[in-house]
Structure 1
Amino acid sequence: MLCAGACGGHRRPAARGLAPPAKASDHWAVGALDRLQRFQRELGATPALWWAFVYFFCLLSGYYVLRPVRDAMAASPDADAVFPSWLIEAASGAGVVLGDYTLQVLFSATFVAMLLMQPVYGALVSRFPRRIFLPAVYLFFIACLLGFYLVFHAAMPGRGALFFVWLAVFNLFAVSVFWSFMADVFSNVEAKRVYGYIGAGGTIGALLGPALTRTLVQTVGVANLMLVSALLLGLCLVCILKLRSHALRREREQGVVSAGQPIGGSVLAGFGLVWRDPLLRALSLLMFFGVGVGTLLYSEQVAIARAAFADPAERAAYFSTIDLAINVLTILVQVFLTGRLMTRFGIAPLLLLPGLAIMLGFSLLAASPLPVLVALVQIVTRASEFSLAKPARETIYTRVDRESRYKAKAFIDTVVYRAGDLSFVWLHKPLAALGSTAVFGVGVFVAAGFFLSAWRVVRAQQALPEQPTPAARAASAA
């Protein structure tokens, strides 16, 4: 009987109700349809999801339209396009060729800008209700983009450094504010279900942004891309207004008496909260080492682009291609894995798997630092951050008080982030003199620090309640 089918005998007809084995493509199509149907059900059950999805889509579209321009300016061999003439002359007088330290100077300036902006942001959060400071942040960035339109249209010297620093500030503050706001809108249980979809909305926007840049930059020029981004940020403002009522309703359900009122407290409270709280300290270390591996990779990538492409438009197209690959991988993971892993296993695999992947990637690069492999590891590193690690971190903030949510989170996402940038971009300089193998060999240890920090976060967050405690609610209402 065992030989009947295999030896050419008559095959028994398939049992009634059993279909023949499905092809892999059929499984993929069924899975995609199932995820789409789940998304539709969540839209019906959670009305705020639609506006959050569109909000993040527009925000990352607007950012990724500009990111290739920033990267192209950072990789430019023309120091006059990047730095103001007085700074070039001052460096030359000191015997320093400023073009040899482009990234180091840009990252140092960005860190200083973050330190200066942090008290300003803290003052906005402390003194004004959300309905005022959230639109104010985006209106400020839109006004800046209109100014950059004029700067790039006139090809002003030094525009590269100014734009690089501004875009870094914009990205960190705008995205940090977005996720803080989402933690106001959604509960922890809802966040586990919908953050993957919201992240996918952002990733679709991140796919559209580089595609727009790649399509338009050769024909309309860099200056007009500023107007495209400004329009997308204007749509973000519409979404903020639509989501306000959902945030207020959730706060009332939590018993926050002063829902929608200013958070109050010190404008520098973010640092104190991070210093005192073990979980926030662990999140800071996770951010620091995560930025470290990214900065080491980015510095090598910029060196490759500077050597390969002389034209700014060609460099912008190159970086937009890398971003496109990252975002394709990101959205596949977000749609098919993120929500399922988080709902079933919690945040642990989402935080720990990227650390393991990065350690493996850096080990391969230390053994064989080929340019193509550098690009591949960059794609995996950033895709795992966007699709796994970041959604996991953001769900933690749904379980803390409002002051930690807005002030401590902003401190971690801006000052700690840029401190990591600053530290590792300067570390890269002496390591690069020893060769790529030395850069990636040290990177293995940085990746190990990232993994251990992720483990500490997983352990520390277990002490949090599923929702903020009454004491935390009272503190957020104070």
Structure 2
Amino acid sequence: MNDALAKWTNGLRGAWSESSPMRWAFAYFFFLLTGYYVLRPVRDALGSTQNLQLLFTGTFISMLLLQPLYGALVSRYPRRVFLPVVYAVFIACLLFFYWAFHQPFAWRSGAFFIWVAVFNLFAVSVFWSFMADVFSHGEAKRFYGYIGAGGTLGGFLGPVLSRNLVGHIGVANLLLLSASMLVMCIVCIQRLRPWALAREKSEATYKPGLAMGGTVLAGLRLIREQPLLRALAVLMFFGVGVGTLLYNEQAAIARTHFVDAASRTAYFAGIDLAINAITLLIQVLLTRGLLQRFGVAPVLMIPSVVVLLGFSVLTASPLPMLVAVVQVITRAGEFSLMKPARETLYTRVSREARYKAKAAIDTVVYRGGDLAFVWVHKWLVGFGPTAVFGVGILVAGGLCFGAWRVGREQARLSQAVSSAESLRTSEGAT
């Protein structure tokens, strides 16, 4: 383990000195997830006392309304405009909620829960789309593990700040701390722009200063037309399913054992700390090596199979502590292995697919899965935890199928790219 840690540290040091965009991407993801994980325990503490089915329904409706607006923004404005605007809107929303938290509004808890869910998906989706603009496929395999570690460090720091500051400064002031992190994200975006533009100029379709164009529903059309994107949508849907079933059981535990927002915030912060600690350990020891040596398919399959085994254990013994353990393992596997593997694939698709199809998968498909499975949980909860996790085994099986399908489509895409490159080489030689 010490040798692996030393190797990873040396690799990070080399990448850090070699690649300026990697440094700024590392910082960007660090600030983004620090800001999000400052908010997440607050959201979970407030949401655990609400009707989660209605909150997830409201989140999905919000996604349906916002996705066309996001698509219009991407279609009409170049990157230098819409990326800072997205984060500026999020900062303005945080300032609004800071004011609302000092008012006796009955709706503020539910509205904040929905907003944080929307913020997380759009902000992180935009981040990885931008990374696919900055880095080539080869660079993504080299650097995404390190960049992900930057986010994990932010995910580790965020709940530490929430857990230690909430008792001193109160819940509302945590929102200002998160807003300051998003300001730093905008700074990082501006510093990364030159490398994104340089890579864009190397593409045959480059048109300086222009937006991507297309309709606001182009993302859904691309998913329908391209097998790899369809497979990624299936993988996302079932991945959300296992997470939603676990999250609802965890929320029930919080409702039973904690009576006030501060104690629930500390509880959820502790769960997040465990998740991010394990995520960082996997990223240090495994992620980069697995991606470079074995490719995307095994990296997607490993956590999928682990989730299937975890639900099998919970079906036999649905103890509260085991639910927390499986939740930690599931989310750590998602963040450390599945997400970096998925994101490398977007370096192989068109720029329109990076922003539009990816945003549709990360928002509409994601929250559609949330909505479907939160109501599945509500229907199953009357039959007890064993029934919930029994159905979860089937959902985890769907996750394994999605991982296999993505691996197959990725292999076909790689063969097509290799054939095209060989053809261009032979034509150049003649």
Same fold (TM over 0.5): yes
TM superposition shift of 1:335: 1.3
Deviations for 1:132-161, whole angstroms, at most 9, x for unmatched residues? 000000000000000010111224211111
Matched, 1:41 2:20: no
Structure 2, gaps ≥5 residues long: 422-430
Q: Distance in 1 between matches of 2:45 and 2:166?
A: 12
TM superposition shift of 1:419: 0.4
Q: Distance in 1 between matches of 2:208 and 2:414?
A: 21
Matches within 5 A, 1:53-92: 53-76=26-49
Q: Distance in 1 between matches of 2:335 and 2:4?
A: 22
Q: Distance in 2 between matches of 1:295 and 1:157?
A: 26
> 1:427 is matched with which residue?
376
Moved more, 151-160 or 185-194: 151-160
Moved more, 248-257 or 335-344: 248-257
Matched, 1:310 2:264: no
TM superposition shift of 1:260: 4.5
Deviations for 1:186-209, whole angstroms, at most 9, x for unmatched residues? 000000000000000000000000
Q: Distance in 1 between matches of 2:229 and 2:209?
A: 24
Q: Distance in 1 between matches of 2:209 and 2:110?
A: 38
Q: From the two aligned structures, give the one with the greater helix fraction.
A: 2
Question: Structure 1 stretches (4+) deviating beyond 4 angstroms?
Answer: 465-470
Deviations for 1:15-46, whole angstroms, at most 9, x for unmatched residues? xxxxxxxxxxxxx3343222111111112222
1:142 pairs with 54, 73, 91, which one? Answer: 91
Moved more, 273-282 or 338-347: 273-282
Structure 2 residue identity aligned to 1:390? K
TM superposition shift of 1:304: 0.5
Structure 1 residue identity aligned to 2:357? A
TM superposition shift of 1:277: 1.2
* CA-atom RMSD in angstroms: 1.3
Q: Distance in 1 between matches of 2:4 and 2:303?
A: 24
> 1:446 is matched with which residue?
395
Q: Percent identity?
A: 60
Q: 1:259 to 1:366 in 2, by over 3 A?
A: farther
- Cα contact 1:282–1:456 (8 A) shared by 2: yes
2:101 pairs with 133, 139, 152, which one? Answer: 152
**SS across alignment from 1:254:** coil
Q: Distance in 2 between matches of 1:256 and 1:197?
A: 30
**SS across alignment from 1:153:** coil
> 2:277 is matched with which residue?
328
Q: Distance in 1 between matches of 2:197 and 2:106?
A: 46
TM-score, normalisation: structure 1: 0.86
Moved more, 287-296 or 37-46: 37-46
Structure 1 residue identity aligned to 2:389? F
Structure 2 residue identity aligned to 1:175? V
Matched, 1:195 2:144: yes
- Cα contact 1:248–1:260 (8 A) shared by 2: no
Matched, 1:356 2:305: yes
Matched, 1:29 2:14: no
Moved more, 155-164 or 124-133: 155-164
Q: Distance in 1 between matches of 2:206 and 2:358?
A: 23
> 2:76 is matched with which residue?
127
> 2:62 is matched with which residue?
113
**SS across alignment from 2:207:** coil
> 2:206 is matched with which residue?
257
Q: Distance in 2 between matches of 1:38 and 1:254?
A: 29
Structure 1 residue identity aligned to 2:308? M
Structure 1, gaps ≥5 residues long: 1-27, 77-98, 471-478
- Cα contact 1:184–1:247 (8 A) shared by 2: yes
> 2:424 is matched with which residue?
none
**SS across alignment from 1:208:** helix
Moved more, 395-404 or 149-158: 149-158
TM superposition shift of 1:463: 2.1
1:339 pairs with 288, 301, 304, which one? Answer: 288
Deviations for 1:35-58, whole angstroms, at most 9, x for unmatched residues? 111111112222100000000000
**SS across alignment from 1:464:** helix
> 1:397 is matched with which residue?
346
Which of the two has higher C-alpha Rg? Answer: 1
TM superposition shift of 1:464: 1.9
Q: Distance in 2 between matches of 1:260 and 1:395?
A: 25
- Cα contact 1:270–1:409 (8 A) shared by 2: yes
1:369 pairs with 281, 297, 318, which one? Answer: 318
Structure 1 residue identity aligned to 2:163? R
Deviations for 1:332-379, whole angstroms, at most 9, x for unmatched residues? 101110000000010111100111000000000000000000000000
Matches within 5 A, 1:258-277: 258-277=207-226
2:192 pairs with 237, 243, 250, which one? Answer: 243
Q: Distance in 1 between matches of 2:59 and 2:383?
A: 26
Matches within 5 A, 1:413-424: 413-424=362-373
